[in-house]
Structure 1
Amino acid sequence: MTEILFDNARWGQDAPVLSILTPFKGDDPTPLLAALGREPLARPGQAELLVLDDGSGDPALAARVEAAVADLSLPARFIRLDANEGRSKGRNRLVRHARGQWLLFLDSDMLPDRPDFIATWLDLIAKDQPAVAFGGFSLDQAPANPDNALHRAIADGSDCQPAAVRARMPEKIFTSNLLVRRDVFAAETFDEAFTGWGWEDVEWGMRVAARWPILHVDNTATHLGLDTAETLTAKYEQSIGNFLKITARHPDLMARYGSLKIAKLLRRAPLLQRFKPLLKAYVLARTPPVRSRAFALRLYRAALYAEAMA
């Protein structure tokens, strides 16, 4: 794997408190970089930004990202890979380049919901020195359109929750907006056996929650990258192997998750192989109500898992 590094003029400053880590593949992270660069910090050099192009293979996009990194007021490094290495390996690579004692994993399709987003994380670090904290995410700034209506319904119904609700299942975190102390990550990195899409962040959360408290706070960022129904079904299809891994490793914790509960019920359903494509067709149809399509999508995911568990 070949790395191409670009550091902006401020990178040579002293090591910061916080390293913001943003991987991308094909998505354009420059709106996020611009938003982070607009936030004034109380002390220069408190935070740095590291951006990873995980094998996008798009020279024009790389040039835009490099220009954005060059203009940032934050110390910043742009890491460009010549081939894709995946979500877990890419994030582990970013950590190896980071210099801060706290690491903020922030996805490239996120946008902070408040003008003092970085400062809020720095205040939390100064006050509590948390081992792990999850800021949550919202859809507040995400444009609504028919193409992403299904994903919006899914996220609104399960993922966009206030901290008090999220804290009931503290291990259920996402790398979209996740703060981790460096020593914690040194002890528990992302498992690179998880490839493709899904579950690697929750599995990490399950391991970490057994050793350290996971704090849930309300410092959200908007998830701008809402998917089409076609992309969502494809991602769920890619997640089967990771689901089997996490279920085998953490059976007691996974027993609380609806996806496993429904999958176990569907294993006993007759004609599952015929039922599954009908569910997918309903999900992809544009005319049924979005809520019923969202319900069908959850069933489709569970049917995929049930078939793999059989």
Structure 2
Amino acid sequence: MISILIPTYNYNVLPLAKNLVNRAKKQGLIFELICMDDGSNSVKNKSNNDINSLPNSKFIERKTNLGRTATRQALAKEAKYDWLLFLDADITPKNDAFISQYTAFVSEPYDAIFGGFAYNPEDYKPNKSLRYTFGKNREEVDAHKRNNNKYKFIISSNFMIKKHVFFKINALNLKPAYGMDYVFGHQLSINKVPILHINNEVYHLGIDDNINYLKKTNQALHTLSALHKNNNINDSHISLIKAYSFLKKANMLKVFRVLTKPFINQMKKYLLKNKAPNLFIFDLYRLSYFCNITT
């Protein structure tokens, strides 16, 4: 028995809902599917309301916007089964056995299972090169490697978790800020939640263009900086914090800021315009930006 939960915002999620319901029915699974729009007031919700006509499914349209993590909390409260499968709206399962590959582990000694992310080469576009390149090289990671560093590769767009564990972990994760996956992964780590990574990827369809992705990157860095400064997160699994802490302990933070700050705009222009951006430049940009906003 499983609750399939999909938060959405201004997105036509009906095709994904149909896809998942058909898979669950073929498997003979006891399931429910709930999709919740986070107050977008979108015309696309006319199509999304057709989800209510699918078996064991419903679409909920919120009137106010609360953010993705709070919407997930609301979805979990609506769910009636003990296992919750959270999926983003802008994905599609990579293989036909998607749901059964998850349900195969419900009796195993894990509280959360992460399926992974993938990027279809056909979705590459020059104006989306940064998000695509980062995703293809940093997020599309084999389960064997992810299991070697379980709490580092946390992508909450495709995972299954026990309901009571989700409520415990998500309690400090309700702020409407971009980048709150940092908190979710940190809470999994400090609570030593037994997790498993498997090769059960979904394709990421909603790839941001370079301008929007860089804006979201900056927002995530501000979120991470605030969390770190307030001692809400100090996780060795986060590479940026490790690098920042190293520079600080080595008394090199001021020197690094002085050396890199003049080049931030140049790096930004490079990342926005390059058709195959070098991720070392992206890492240097993020570290420089983080060090300049974190004191």
Is residue 2:5 matched to residue 1:21? yes
Distance 2:242 2:193 in 1: 27
Distance 1:212 1:259 in 2: 23
- The 5 Å alignment of 1:214-293 reads 214-247=195-228, 248-251=231-234, 253-254=235-236, 256-263=237-244, 265=247, 267-269=254-256, 270=258, 272-285=260-273, 288=274, 290-292=276-278
- CA-CA distance at 1:78 after TM superposition: 1.1
Tell whether the 8 Å contact from 1:55 to 1:84 is kept in structure 2 after alignment.
yes
- CA-CA distance at 1:22 after TM superposition: 0.7
Aligned length: 283
- CA-CA distance at 1:243 after TM superposition: 0.5
Distance 2:34 2:72 in 1: 10
Give the equivalent residue in structure 1 for 2:110: 130
SS of the residue corresponding to residue 5 of structure 2 reads: strand
SS of the residue corresponding to residue 27 of structure 2 reads: coil
Within the candidate set 9, 12, 31, 2:15 is matched to 31
- The 5 Å alignment of 1:92-171 reads 92-125=73-106, 127-128=107-108, 130-140=110-120, 143-171=123-151
Percent of aligned pairs with the same residue?
25
Give the equivalent residue in structure 1 for 2:52: 70
CA offsets 1:150-178 (integer angstroms, 9 cap, x no match): 21110111111011111122123121111
Structure 1 counterpart of 2:34, one-letter code: L
Unaligned runs of 5+ in 2: 248-252
Distance 2:41 2:284 in 1: 35
- CA-CA distance at 1:195 after TM superposition: 2.8
Is residue 2:281 matched to residue 1:296? yes
Distance 2:72 2:120 in 1: 26
- CA-CA distance at 1:51 after TM superposition: 0.6
- CA-CA distance at 1:192 after TM superposition: 4.0
State the TM-score, normalized to the length of structure 2: 0.87
Distance 1:225 1:113 in 2: 15
Structure 1 counterpart of 2:47, one-letter code: R
Tell whether the 8 Å contact from 1:148 to 1:227 is kept in structure 2 after alignment.
yes
Moved more, 22-31 or 86-95: 22-31
Is residue 2:58 matched to residue 1:81? no
After the TM superposition, list the runs of 4 or more consecutive aligned residues in structure 1 that deviate by more than 6 angstroms: none
Q: Label 1:142 to 1:50 Cα distance change in 2 as closer, same or farther (>3 A).
A: farther
CA offsets 1:54-107 (integer angstroms, 9 cap, x no match): 12121x21111111x03423x112111122101221111111111110011101
State the TM-score, normalized to the length of structure 1: 0.83
Unaligned runs of 5+ in 1: 1-16
Within the candidate set 194, 205, 210, 1:213 is matched to 194
Q: Compute the RMSD of aligned alpha carbons.
A: 2.2
SS of the residue corresponding to residue 196 of structure 1 reads: coil
Q: Label 1:188 to 1:289 Cα distance change in 2 as closer, same or farther (>3 A).
A: closer
